[in-house]
Each structure stands twice: as C-alpha cells, then as structure tokens.
C-alpha cells in the first residue's frame, strides 16, 4: 500500500467513522482537520480519538497519545502510518 492508497483509506475512514457529510474525495490532503480556522473539517479532540481508533484498527498499528498530537492533516497521518508500517515490516 503506497502513500496515496493510505491517504485515500484515511479519508474514507474519517468520513465513515465520524459520520461526516463531506465526500472523502473533497478532503484535501494538506487541509487542517482540527479547529474551525483554515477551511478544514473543524474536528475536535473527541474526533481525534475516534480517528486514532480507526487508524489503529484499519492499519494494524499502535497509535500513542503523542502520535495523535501529530494528527493535523491527512498528509501528516499518512506519513505516520507509513512510518509505523515500515517499522513493523523491519522488526
């Protein structure tokens, strides 16, 4: 699974897990996911935990509290997922 596949899966997870009415295809990779500023999705800390649970389950990786703090955009989450999957493959 390459990074573009990870990004697409993340968008689908975010939409389905949080019951958003935004099509996954309309979520921009670099748009802020949290907060009301910057044209992002306006997600909150509870949503971040939901996304963390979804990521843990879908990608079979562990997500720490520090990792959740890095959940800023689809790009940053995809990078984290790719790094953790690569580390698991090399372990």
CATH architecture of 3-90: Orthogonal Bundle (1.10)
pLDDT recorded at residue 37: 67
Task: Give the CA radius of gyration of the chain.
Answer: 12
- Please check whether residue 24 is in contact with residue 69, taking contact to mean a CB–CB distance below 8 angstroms: no
38-91 tens-digit pLDDT: 668 899 999 999 999 999 999 999 999 999 998 999 999 999 999 999 998 887
Give the mean model confidence (pLDDT) for residues 7-33.
95
What's the pTM value of the predicted model, to 2 decimals? 0.92
pLDDT recorded at residue 59: 96
37 Cβ neighbours under 8 A, 6+ residues apart: none
Q: What are the domain boundaries of the chain?
A: 3-90
């Amino acid at each position: 699974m390459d990074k573009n596949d990870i990004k697409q899966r993340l968008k689908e997870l975010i939409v389905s897990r949080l019951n958003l009415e935004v099509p996954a295809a309309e979520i921009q990779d670099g748009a802020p996911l949290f907060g009301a500023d910057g044209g992002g999705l306006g997600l909150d800390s509870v949503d971040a935990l939901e996304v963390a649970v979804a990521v843990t389950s879908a990608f079979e990786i562990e997500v720490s509290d520090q990792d959740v703090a890095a959940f800023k955009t689809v790009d940053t989450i995809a990078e984290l997922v790719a790094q953790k999957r690569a580390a698991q493959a090399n372990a």
